[in-house]
Amino acid sequence: MSALLVLSFLFFSVAAAPALTLPSQAGSEPLKSQHFQIQEPTMSLELRDGRPDDATVLGRICFEAFKDIAHRHHFPEDFPSPEAASGLMSFLLGHPKFHAVVAEAGGQVIGGNYLDERSAIAGVGPIFIDPAAQGQGAGRRLMEVVIARAQERGLPGVRLVQVGYNNQTLCLYSRLGFQVREPLSLINGTPARIHISGYDVRKATAGDTDACNRVCREVHGHDRAGEVDEAIRDGSATVVERQGRITGYATSIGFFAHAVGETTEDLKALIGAADQITGPGILVPTRNHDLFTWCLDHKLRLVQQMTLMTMGFYQDPTGAYLSSVLY
């Protein structure tokens, strides 16, 4: 089973990577430390790297934390069970390109956070704190630590996707230096299984890697080569061709996957050709009115709003894309 399918199965509701290449005009300066100012938490807190044997306790806390915030805002739970959340934790803790940080207070684990390092633009999350320990600075400290790690590694940017109904995290991330870039609509349902004339979709192969990375660089100013390589190895990636030329790709069609196309029609073709949407849905940039309404017209449904936030390098997209839950 592919890594993306494992993640989508485990995260019921709600990516050794090559170095990312930035075009010379975009610049590739690393993150600057002045983006945030470290503040001490009000509790006595110890932070350490995550270990495989943390999976069960982190899964329980993750389940309870996401359930608590969802119930308070009258949204469905993110995980069907603590065991499902523990399965996700086990996968991430065992992945060589996800760095885990664990928070402890009084000798007890109270939360965790992850940094996706598969590509040079890092992704943050999932982050979670035991509901009984929230509001005392642990979440902020977990965020500061992964940002500092990205800075130490000389990465040009860090990104995340924030749940739209959670005002607390929107304020926290903004104060840490993240900027709101795009409202995202989480959309789910059964793909239409349609073919758009002139747009041919097929499985991606290793020989397509350079073309996929080219499209991503053209649209975003950077590539996601580590994720593309992983998805092609796992067999979940697809490409769309027009007149024999690759004009878009998807690492899968789902929550933990991303897709990029030169045009919105490329994205429609990739979504329309998918057998299924994995996980809780796809993240459609809401301002792409054409794609958003096309999804609705093809019987896909809006679940909730989310927000793409970035720190460091960012270029306004010059084409169409679907975000992953990380960015």
Per-residue model confidence as pLDDT tens digits over 84-103? 999 999 999 999 999 999 99
Per-residue model confidence as pLDDT tens digits over 230-274? 999 999 999 999 999 999 999 999 999 999 999 999 999 999 999
Mean pLDDT of the chain: 90
Residue 89, classed as helix, strand or coil, is helix
Whole-number pLDDT of residue 101: 98
CATH topology of domain 3-158: Aminopeptidase (3.40.630)
Whole-number pLDDT of residue 18: 34
DSSP-assigned letter for residue 55 = H
* Residue 243 backbone dihedrals phi, psi, to 5 degrees: 55, 40
What gap in Å lies between CA 58 and CA 65, rounded to an integer? 10
Burial (CB < 10 A; 0-12, 13-18, 19+), residue 194, is exposed
Confidence grade of residue 20 (pLDDT, cut at 50, 70, 90):
very low
Per-residue model confidence as pLDDT tens digits over 47-66? 999 999 999 999 999 999 99
Please choose, from the candidates 238, 229, 283, 275, the residue with its C-alpha nearest in 3D space to the C-alpha of residue 256: 283
Task: Locate 21 and state its tokens.
Answer: 């290449």
CATH topology of domain 187-322: Aminopeptidase (3.40.630)
* Residue 130 backbone dihedrals phi, psi, to 5 degrees: -50, 130
Residue 17 has pLDDT above 50, yes or no: no
Confidence grade of residue 7 (pLDDT, cut at 50, 70, 90):
low
DSSP-assigned letter for residue 290 = H
What gap in Å lies between CA 295 and CA 192, rounded to an integer? 9
* Residue 67 backbone dihedrals phi, psi, to 5 degrees: -65, -45
What gap in Å lies between CA 157 and CA 122, rounded to an integer? 6
Per-residue model confidence as pLDDT tens digits over 131-170? 999 999 999 999 999 999 999 999 999 999 999 999 999 9
% of residues, the chain, pLDDT over 90 = 83
**Beta partners for 260?**
249, 321
Beta-carbon-side half-sphere exposure of residue 218 (alpha carbons within 13 Å): 16
Q: Give the domain ranges of the chain.
A: 3-158, 187-322
Whole-number pLDDT of residue 185: 98
3-158 matches 187-322 in fold: yes
Confidence grade of residue 214 (pLDDT, cut at 50, 70, 90):
very high
Contact between 86 and 112 under an 8 Å Cβ cutoff? The reply is no
